[in-house]
Amino acid sequence: MNTHKRWAFLLAATAGVVGGAVLAVASRRQHHEVARELEHTSDLKSWENEGGNLAPATTAPAQP
C-alpha cells in the first residue's frame, strides 16, 4: 500500500511539472505573438506617417 502511495505522489508531481511547462510555453508564445503584433502596428503607423501610401492601381487600356 505504501508503495502505491509513493507512485501516485510521483505521478501527480510529474503531471504537475509537465502541465506547468506546457502552460509556460503557451503563455510565452502568446506573449511573443502580441509583442510582434504591436511592433507591426507601430511600424505600419510610422510608415503611413511618412507618406507611404500604396500607389493607385493602374488600369490597362482595353485591347481591340
Q: What angle do CA 37, 30, 14 make, to 5 degrees?
A: 165
Pairwise CA distance, residues 15 & 9, whole Å: 10
Query: Measured between alpha carbons, how far is 34 from 16 in angstroms, rounded to an integer?
Result: 27
Band (28; pLDDT cuts 50, 70, 90): very high
3-state secondary structure of 1: coil
The whole model's pTM is what?
A: 0.57
pLDDT digits (tens, 9 = 90+) for 38-60: 999 888 888 777 765 666 667 76
> Domain segments of the chain: what residues?
1-47
d(CA 10, CA 2): 12
